[in-house]
Structure 1
Amino acid sequence: MTGFALGVDQEEWCAHLRALSADRLRPLAEKGEPGRINRPLLAELGELGLLERVFASGALELCLLRESLAYGCTEAETALALQGLGAYPVLRAGSEAQRARWLPGVRAGRAVAAFALSEPGAGSDAAALALEAAPDSGGADGGRGGWRLSGEKCWISNAPEADFYTVFARTGEGPGAKGVSAFLVPADRPGLTGEPLDMLSPHPIGSLAFDGVPVGPEDLLGEPGRGFRVAMDTLNLFRPSVGAFAVGMARAALDATLAHTAARTAFGGVLGDLQAVAHRVAEMATRTEAARLLVYAAAGAYDSGSPDVPRRAAMAKLLATETAQYVVDHAVQLHGAVALRRGHLLEHLYREVRAPRIYEGASEVQRTIIAKEMYRAVAPR
């Protein structure tokens, strides 16, 4: 995919989504409590059919959805994305029984999903997971051979209020990533507790403690020892769409800056007449457009089954999240003190934009992935 342009139908759909964000989703988001799951907002996303689109669409449509929602209501975008991240492993690797039990509720916004990968000592290095799944022949499955989960998860979005968790634990079939399995763990499973974490970003994040939590073969997502692949398949889809989320924030900040600098008078004219301001805005616009093109190129590669998805996905997330940080920061600077006032769009975006450079693989991890993929392509055969 060498270029990207939206068709008329796609442009109209994106405009429709931006209107929905402003008219129906933003009011519900404003009634929510920072750091808590907003269940009325999730229910509205389900009622509008948007959660269904997360599971029925390809990467390109997912990116359009996330960018458009992020432009008008970051809380709605994040609520939708976290449902997809937590439940996508169930869609791809779960059994018929698991999908039938949980996915209808996720699509309707009634059941809240969470993706539980990171740990206190294993964030960027996901293969270094320490959560142990010890064999338990008399476990929850009535003696057919199960496991007991013991350890901690940390920085888990939607924890501890989610209804179920996609949990990655070490079952020990091999070293590193080869010994990790994925489990679907309902929140009411005995021995599972959690607490919220007070974070900069406004969406819910918490820690989880596993004290001998019983799981059986029916709780596995895929095969034992293949859980790391389940995690990476999920992240390869969602990394470009994290970039789309970032692009949506950057575009909102850029549009706000254009409106402000075209109207605010200073030094005998409007701010936009000053070359320093105009050039800054031009740089913000150019970087945003470049990031957007890379995001949709990565999405197109994913949808076409290209073998270089890991590299493209990493590039898209890296450039888009770093760009959004740059654009929002400069938007705040050009607005001045008004943008620092609690409740201002840019004050909100400034708090939102920092986390995506860390979660689902920090920028440094993305650079490592890109370099490894490039060198793999030129390695001696």
Structure 2
Amino acid sequence: MTAFALGPQEQKWCAELRALTAERLRPLADRGEPGRVNRPLVAALGELGLLRRLFPAEGPVRALDLCLLRESLAQESTEAETALALQGLGTYPVVQSGTEQQRARWLPEVVAGRAVSAFALSEPDAGSDAGALALAAEPDGPPDAGRWRLTGEKCWISNAPEADFATVFARTGGGAGSRGITAFLVPADRPGLSGAPLDMLSPHPIGTLVFDGVPVTRDDMVGEPDRGFGVAMRTLNLFRPSVGAFAVGMAQAALDAALAHAADRTAFGGPLKDLQAVSHQLAETATRIEAARLLVYAAATAYDNGAPDIAKRSAMAKLLATETAQQAVDTAVQIHGARALHRGHLLEHLYREVRAPRIYEGATEVQRSIIARELYRGR
């Protein structure tokens, strides 16, 4: 297989994933409460072995496999895709940088679908600018005691406040900006930790976490002190191409719906697909989706091969895929007309879901800045 074509085994695996999602996961997703963690769905991801795919025993998941997982699930159920992706995002800091004790305690629970994780980076005044974090880790006792108290707030955290543990990024005072940030694994039952759900446009669970002197120790530290920004970036570098894959999956679902509707719907004496205004939109959308898909696969393969320009490739993949998905869903809604805006329609759901990926894990504008910076690197 190359970066630009899936082999027969990969194609078969993706088809099986889509069928499994439609048959086993979508019904559980449909029964879930919007804005809340769907624990039966997470448990099914474990029982069906999909979380084991995300956390293979031999080491971190291949970026390309992660992309194929996310794209395939997203075509059939965005809720199932998001539940799986959030388990990865919250847990991979521990996989990549945690201690043996941390991995032994939490990985089996996550893989089995019994524990839900969160990635607690964003704050009310620190979104795309992660270096602006203000959550304070204040020493609790002598400087060498290895104890801190976390004070502050995290906001727009997926799975908060219902997650069983969170990877939390706090400022330990070792420097300004991205320096001086340390990552901690914080179980949900720590005293002083609270939070609240946020009522957001997208249906997956998002909330706040409030830290009122939450105690943490050296044993809770993920990675080295004052190097938590690197812990966060290693996880985001792995997951950024797969955000594009999620977007491609949604875009393909929207295109499939538009193709079916344009073939069946009669207007002006014939099917919609015979109108050039419609058929050209479908052709343009299909071309953009395929271009985005190939760029996502290429970026993931570059990550797996250790390419030096992965920052640029990942930014390009996320940028093109998320913007393409927005266009694809909007086009499909336009072709369907008012029926697509009915609550519960697939496209109404996708219209709400597709907006957020253009913001999280680096907004579109941030991706453009990364690409521009990388273009001039070394010149």
Q: Deviations over 1:99-129 (max 9, x none)?
A: 0000110111100000000000000100110
Q: How high is the sequence identity, in percent, across the aligned residues?
A: 75
Deviating beyond 4 angstroms after TM superposition, the runs of 4 or more aligned structure 1 residues are: none
Deviates more, 1:182-191 or 1:369-378: 369-378
1:80 matches 2:84: yes
User: RMSD over aligned Cα, in angstroms?
Assistant: 1.3
Matches within 5 A, 1:281-300: 281-300=282-301
Match of 1:121 in 2: 125
TM superposition score normalised by structure 1 = 0.97
Q: What is the distance in 2 between the residues matched to 1:222 and 1:55?
A: 19
Q: CA deviation at 1:138?
A: 6.8
Match of 1:253 in 2: 254
2:13 maps to: 13
Please give the residue correspondences for 1:1-381 in structure 2 after superposition, counting only pairs within 5 Å: 3-56=3-56, 57-137=61-141, 144-378=145-379
- Secondary structure (helix, strand or coil) at the match of 1:147 reads strand
SS of corresponding position for 1:207: strand
| Offset from partner CA, 1:198-252 (integer Å, 9 cap, x none) | 0000000001111111111101100001100011111111110010000000001
Distance between the aligned counterparts of 2:215 and 2:104, measured in 1? 21
1:300-325 C-alpha deviation (Å, 9 max, x unpaired):
01000111111111111111011000
Q: Distance in 2 between matches of 1:189 and 1:373?
A: 42
For residue 144 of structure 1, report the CA deviation from its aligned partner. 3.0
CA distance in 2, matches of 1:54, 1:23: 20
Q: What is the CA-CA distance between 1:2 and the residue it aligns to?
A: 7.8
Contact 2:3 2:301 in 1 (8 A): no
- 3-state SS in 1 of match to 2:55: helix
Which letter maps to 1:113? S
Distance in structure 2 (CA, Å) of the matches to 1:247 and 1:48: 23
SS in 2 for 1:178: coil
Unaligned runs of 5+ in 1: none
Shift of 1:137: 2.1
**Letter of the aligned partner of 1:107 in structure 2?**
V
Work out the CA distance in 1 between the residues paired with 2:155 and 2:175: 24
Q: Distance in 1 between the 2:196 and 2:142 partners?
A: 29
2-structure distance, mates of 1:13, 1:297: 19
Give the letter for the 1:45 counterpart.
L
Between 1:242-251 and 1:262-271, the stretch displaced more is 262-271
d(CA) in 2 for partners of 1:374, 1:134: 40
Return the alpha-carbon distance in structure 1 between the equivalents of residues 365 and 78 of structure 2.
Answer: 24
Counterpart of 1:377 in 2: which secondary structure? coil
